[in-house]
Structure 1
Amino acid sequence: MKCRIIHESSLRIRFKIEKPLITIQQADILLYYLEEKSYVKQAVVYERTNDVVVFFKNGQKDAVISAISKFDLNSDSLTDNASQNSGRLITRQFQEKFVGNITLAVARQLFLPLPLRILYTVLKSTGYIIKGIKSLINGKLEVEVLDAISIGVSVIRRDFSTAGSIMFLLGLGSLLEEWTHKKSINDLARTMSLNIDKVWLKTDGADVLVPVSSIKSKDLIVVNMGNVIPFDGIVYSGEAMVNQASLTGESVPVAKREGAYIYAGTVIEEGELIISVDAEAGSGRYDRIVKMIEESEKLKSDTEDRASNLADKLVPYSLLGTAFTYLLTRNIQKTLSVLMVDFSCALKFSIPLAVLSAMKEAGRYKATVKGGKYLEAIAYADTIVFDKTGTLTHACPTVEKVIACAGQNERQMIKIAACLEEHFPHSVANAVVAYAKKLNISHREMHSHVEYVVAHGIASTIKEEKVIIGSYHFVFEDEHTEIAPEDSEIIENLNPQYSHLFLAIAGKLVAVIYISDPLRDEAAEVIAELKRLGIKKTVMITGDNIKTAEAAAKKAGVDEFYAGVLPEDKAAFIEKERNSGKTVIMVGDGINDSPALSAASCGIAIGNGAAIAKEISDITITAESLNELITLKKIANRLIDRINSNYRFIMSFNTALILFGTSGILSPTSSALLHNISTLGISVKSMTDLI
C-alpha cells in the first residue's frame, strides 16, 4: 500500500494513504491487520481523510512502516476475521439520519405553508398517540402514555408548535438512544468473537494442525474434548456432549452424533467429533453473538433489574403529579411541563448503558465479560480462589529435564509425550510440546484415539500398547504402573521444587518429566492489591503435592491453601463458601477447574487455558498478567459507584424540572428539551471510561 509519513514521534506515527478515499470495509480490515501486530499498542484509521495513526512499542517504528507498506487494501485474505458489522458503519448511518432529521425539520419550517405544517404535525402525532393507547390496552403505564398525553393535549389545544417541538425532540432522543445502544452492543460483540488460530485437519495420512484461514467448506476437522468448535458444520463421525450455553443458553450439554448440526463457539465437554465444515470462519458467528448479548439474561445485573422496575413504578406517579398540578393550577402549560419530564427514560437507558460500557472497557483491557451481573459479583466479592498451575504460577511453565526409565531413549520418550499432550491445550501440556520443539524433535501422529482423564492425565494406544501420561495418582494409584527396581531411586528422590509428569507404556514407567512452574512475578502484589480493593479472603487450591503447594502459597501471600484437591473438591469448597454467605470469585485455566468455575459467583478463566474452562467461565482474561484482575476489580467497583451516582442525578435533576415547570419558570418545550439533554448527557457520561 502506498502511503507517506506526515508526522512521527518516538512512539506514534501518522500516515496518509495515497489513493482515492478508502471504503469503510477497507478501513476496518486495515485496522484489524494493524491491531493483530504484537508491536502495535493502538491504531486508528480515518476513512474520511485517508489517515492512519499507529501507536507502537518502543523501537518498533521500522516494523510498523514495513507492515503498512506490505498491506494490500484490495486483498480479501483478512475479510473473514475482520468484523463485517462495523461500529464505524453504525456511526455513519446514525450521522446521516441525525443530519437528515434536522435538515428536514428546518426545511419544513422554512418552505412548507402553515396549513401543511399543521397537517404534518397532526398526522405524525397519531403514531405517538396510538403507541400510548396500545400501552394502556396492554395494561401498562409506560413512558409512551406520558408522551401520547402531552402531544395529544397540545394538538387538541391547537398548540401545534409545542406538539411539533416535542415530537422533534423525542425523535432525536430516540435516535441517539438507538445509536448508543447499538454501538455499545456492536463493540462488545466484537470483543466476544472467537479467537482461534489453528485447528486439526483430517487428512488421509494423519491429523494435521493447520491455520484456521486455510480451512474450506467440506473440509473435515477433528475437535477433541475440552476444545472449542471453530466452525458451523455437520458431524461426520464420532459422538460427544456439547456445551451450547454461549449461543442457546442451555445449561445442560447436548448429545451430538453423526449427521447432527454443530455451531461455532460451542465446546465439547466429553468425546470427540470429526466435523464436515459447513460455513467458513466468520459467517453468521457475529450475528449470533449479538443476538445472545441482546437476549441473554446474563446481561441483566440485579442493579439493572432494580432500575427497570423502579422506572416502571414511577410512571403512575408522574401521571398523578400531572393530574394534581392541573387540579391545583388549572394551567395547561404547567401541567404539560410535568408530563414532559419522566424518570423512567433516563433510568431504563443510562443504567444498562453504563453496564455495557463497563463490559466494553474491560474488553479493551483484554477481559471478555459475558454479562453485567458478573461485574456486579466482582464488585461485591469478598473471597477469591485461585488454581495454582498456569494461574498463580507462570503462564508458561517449562520442562526442566526428562529422565528416561526402563532403559528407554530420552528423545523417544519426549516425542511420545509431546505427541499426546499437543491435543489438550493446558499450560503444562504446552510446556511439553514446546520442549520437544526446542530440541527439534518431530512428533508426527503415531497413536490411536486420545482420551483425556480429567484431573489425572491422558491415555492412548501405540502399536497396541496402552500409553498413559499424567499425575502420580493417575499413573501409579489408578493405573497401578510398575517401576523397574533400578528406577525406584528416581521416584524416591523426586525434587518437590518441581511438578512432575509420569509417562508409562504397557503398564511400566518409562519417563519422569520435571516441570518448572515458577510463581508469576506479579502474583503477590496482585493478591495484596485485591485485598486493598475489598477482597477479604484469598485461597489457593491445587492438585499438586503439599510441599510444592505450601511453597507457592507462602510466596503468593494467600490466606489459605489446599493441596491434592480433585475437581469435585474444588467445586465443593466454593459451594460451601457461597452457602455461608460469601460472594466467591474462582480463577483457573484447566479442564479440571471447570466445575469450580461454574460453581463460583463469578468464574474467571485464563485465556491460554482449556476451551471448556473459557466456555463455562463468566469472564476470560489473557494469560499475560494477573494485573488484569486488579483492572477488573477497579472497573467493577467504579461501575457500582457510577450507577449510584446516576440514580442520584436522575432523581434530583428531574425533580427540579418538575418544580420549575409547575412554578411556571419552564415551558413544556423547555422542560422536554432539558429532560432530553439530561438523558443524553447522563447516557454519554455512562459511556465514558471508568479507569
Structure 2
Amino acid sequence: SGLLKLDQRDVWLVENGHERKVPVESLKRGDLIAVHLGEKICVDGSVVSGNAAVNQASITGESNPAIKQEKSPVYAGSVIEAGDLVIRVEKVGADTSLAQIIHLVEEAQTRRAPVQNFADKMANLLVPISFIGAAIVYGATKDWQRVLNLLFIDFSCGLKLSTATAISAAIGVAARKGILIKGGNYIENLADIDTVVLDKTGTITMGVPQIDHIETVEGVDDKGMILLAASAEMHSVHPLAVAVQKYVNAQGWQTPPHASSETVVARGMKATVPDFEGYEGGDILVGSRRFMTEEGVEGMPATDNKTWGKNLLYIARNGEYLGFLVIQDPVRPGMKKTLNRMRRLGIDEVVMLTGDSKDVAAEVARDMDIDSYHAEILPEDKANYVMKMQKRGNVMMVGDGINDAPALAFADIGVSLGGNKTDIAAESAAITIRSEDPSKLYDALYIGRETMRAINQNFTATIVVNSAAMLLGALGKISPLWAAVIHNTATLAVVLNSVRILKPAHPTRRPA
C-alpha cells in the first residue's frame, strides 16, 4: 500500500513552452513533462532541463536525495524535494520501475517458503493430538473441564500465523530498502548462504574505467598530452579511449581535431594532430608498451610501476615518448566493508569471477581480500563454476549484466545489483537491488537470517507454551477460561515477534 500511494494521476505536459495538466494515461514516449517542488514523478525518463534534489528511496532504497540534472535518469514514484525538472518520457504506466516493483512485491507474497509449508504440515499433524489427548483424558477422568482444556489449546494458530507474518514482513521491509525479493522461498535460502560469488566489472567495480594517474616526461604538460591522446582516440569506442574522452569532458576541455587517424588492432591508435591552443601537434601514437616498442619510440621507461595497476596507455609524439596514463575501473565505495560485514554474518568464502585479465583480477582480489578468483572466463563458464561451488555450500551469485544471467539463474540465490543493471539479469535473479550501494547485500543476508531466527523462536515458543498448557489442563490445574487465555496470548506473542522484523533496524549497531 505504501508503494501504491506513490502513484499519481495528473501531470504537467509541456507543449510550445506552456504547461497544461493532463491525465498520466494520455502520456506517450517522447512527451515532455514538468515536475515541480514537492510533486511526484510519475514516469520513467531522463531530465531535459532543470536541477533538483530527488528522493528516490522507494525505488533504489537510497537514504539521501539524488541530485538530478540534464541527462540524469528519473523514476516513477520518486519525489522532488528541491528544484524543478523538465523530463522526457521514456516509460509510463505498467512499464515503469514503480509498476514493476509493485508487481514483484505482490507476486512475492504468493510464493511460499518451504518453512511455511513445513509449519502448515506440522500444524495439521498436531491437530489430531488435541483430539487424541482429549479422548484419553475423558476416558481416564470423565471430567469435561479437562477435556475442554485440551480442545481449547492447539498448535496450528501460532505456527501458521507467525510464519506467514514473518515472511510477509521480511519481503515488505526489504522492499522499503530497495531490495526486491521475489518470493518467501528465497528468504529461507538467504539464511543458509555460506558462499558469495561476485562478478567483477560493474559489481565489485563501478564498470566505468577512468583515469587514475598521469605520468609525463619533463617539459610535457599533462593537459597537452591528454588532449593529444583524446584527439587520436576521438572516434574509438574502446573502454580506455572512452575513459580519456570522459576525462576531457569532465575538465571542460575541447578535444582538438585530428587530420587523420588509424586503428591498429590490439595495439592502439595512430593519428596526425595539427598544432592547437599553443600546444605542438605531430604524429601521435596512443596504445600499449608493445605498440610503442614495435614503432621504435625513443625514451620509453625501463619498467612500469606495478603498484599503479595494469591498464597503462602510453603516448608518443613524432617517435618521442611523452608519458602514460593509468586507467582503472574503480572499486565500488563501501564494497570491502560490506564483504567484511558479510563474513561476520557467517559467510565462509568469497569468490570473484571475471572475464577480465588475470593481472587485473589478481590486483582486485588482493585489494578486496577475496578468498579466490577465476579470470578470463566466458559467461557459460560462470554458471559451471557456480554449480561446482554448490556441491560444497549454498551459493549467492551477485552480478549485473547479460553475461551474468546464466550464473544468476543457477545459484541458490541470484542477486542483480545496481540501478543500471540489464533487464535480463534482473529477470534471472531471485533478488533485485535497485541501488548502487553494496551494503544492501549485507542488508539482504541480515533480513534473511533475522527472519529465520524469528521463525525458529516462534516454533519453540508455540510448542513449549502450548504443550505445558495442555499438560496443566489435563491435570486439572487450570480452567478452560485460562486455557483459552494462554493459547491466544501465546499466538499473539509469536505473531508480534514476527512483526518485529518490520521495525527499522540498525544492523551496524547490533552484534552479528
- TM-score bin (small chain): 0.5 to 0.7
Is the deviation greater in 648-657 or in 430-439? Answer: 430-439
TM-superposition CA deviations, 1:284-305 (whole Å, max 9, x none): 767644541232x3xx332222
Q: Superposed, which structure 2 residues align to 1:282-431 within 5 Å?
A: 288-289=103-104, 291-295=106-110, 297=111, 300-394=112-206, 397-399=209-211
| Secondary structure of 1:688's aligned partner | helix
Residue 369 of structure 1, CA deviation: 2.3
Q: Which amino acid aligns with 2:478?
A: L
Residue 417 of structure 1, CA deviation: 6.6
- Listed as ranges, the gaps of 5+ residues in structure 2 are 8-34, 44-56, 77-84, 215-221, 256-261, 272-282, 292-303, 314-323, 508-512
CA contact (8 A) 1:325 1:334 kept: yes
Tell me how far apart the structure 2 counterparts of residues 390 and 362 of structure 1 sit (CA, whole Å).
22
Indicate which of 379, 393, 406 corresponds to 1:582. Answer: 393
Higher relative contact order (CA 8 A, sep 6+): 2
Indicate which of 74, 78, 81 corresponds to 2:40. Answer: 78
Q: Which amino acid aligns with 1:572?
A: N
Structure 1 length-normalised TM: 0.48
| Secondary structure of 1:384's aligned partner | strand
Pair 1:599-2:410 in alignment:
yes
2:259: which partner in 1? none
1:244: which partner in 2? none
Residue 651 of structure 1, CA deviation: 0.2
TM-superposition CA deviations, 1:660-687 (whole Å, max 9, x none): 2223333333322321222111111111
Tell me how far apart the structure 2 counterparts of residues 631 and 194 of structure 1 sit (CA, whole Å).
11
Q: Superposed, which structure 2 residues align to 1:75-224 within 5 Å?
A: 77-78=39-40, 80=42, 221=90
In structure 2, relative to structure 1, the CA distance for the partners of 1:484 and 1:192 (3 Å cut) is: closer
In structure 2, relative to structure 1, the CA distance for the partners of 1:549 and 1:581 (3 Å cut) is: closer
TM-superposition CA deviations, 1:484-510 (whole Å, max 9, x none): 598777233598825599xxxxxxxxx
Is the deviation greater in 310-319 or in 488-497? Answer: 488-497
2:28: which partner in 1? none
Q: Which amino acid aligns with 1:491?
A: S
Residue 194 of structure 1, CA deviation: 11
Tell me how far apart the structure 2 counterparts of residues 532 and 539 of structure 1 sit (CA, whole Å).
16
In structure 2, relative to structure 1, the CA distance for the partners of 1:430 and 1:536 (3 Å cut) is: farther
Pair 1:491-2:453 in alignment:
no
In structure 2, relative to structure 1, the CA distance for the partners of 1:642 and 1:291 (3 Å cut) is: closer
| Secondary structure of 1:385's aligned partner | strand
Q: CA RMSD in A?
A: 4.7
Tell me how far apart the structure 1 counterparts of residues 73 and 103 of structure 2 sit (CA, whole Å).
26
TM-superposition CA deviations, 1:271-296 (whole Å, max 9, x none): xxxxxxxxxxx6x767644541232x
CA contact (8 A) 1:642 1:686 kept: yes
2:18: which partner in 1? none
CA contact (8 A) 1:589 1:606 kept: yes
1:627: which partner in 2? 439
- Listed as ranges, the gaps of 5+ residues in structure 1 are 1-23, 31-69, 82-189, 198-207, 222-229, 234-262, 266-281, 422-427, 444-466, 469-474, 502-511
Q: Percent identity?
A: 28
Pair 1:638-2:458 in alignment:
no
In structure 2, relative to structure 1, the CA distance for the partners of 1:433 and 1:627 (3 Å cut) is: farther
Tell me how far apart the structure 2 counterparts of residues 654 and 314 of structure 1 sit (CA, whole Å).
11
Q: Which amino acid aligns with 1:294?
A: Q
1:657: which partner in 2? 469
Q: Which amino acid aligns with 2:108?
A: I
Tell me how far apart the structure 2 counterparts of residues 211 and 627 of structure 1 sit (CA, whole Å).
22
In structure 2, relative to structure 1, the CA distance for the partners of 1:530 and 1:364 (3 Å cut) is: same
Pair 1:609-2:420 in alignment:
yes
Tell me how far apart the structure 2 counterparts of residues 563 and 342 of structure 1 sit (CA, whole Å).
57
Q: Which amino acid aligns with 1:360?
A: G
In structure 2, relative to structure 1, the CA distance for the partners of 1:560 and 1:305 (3 Å cut) is: same
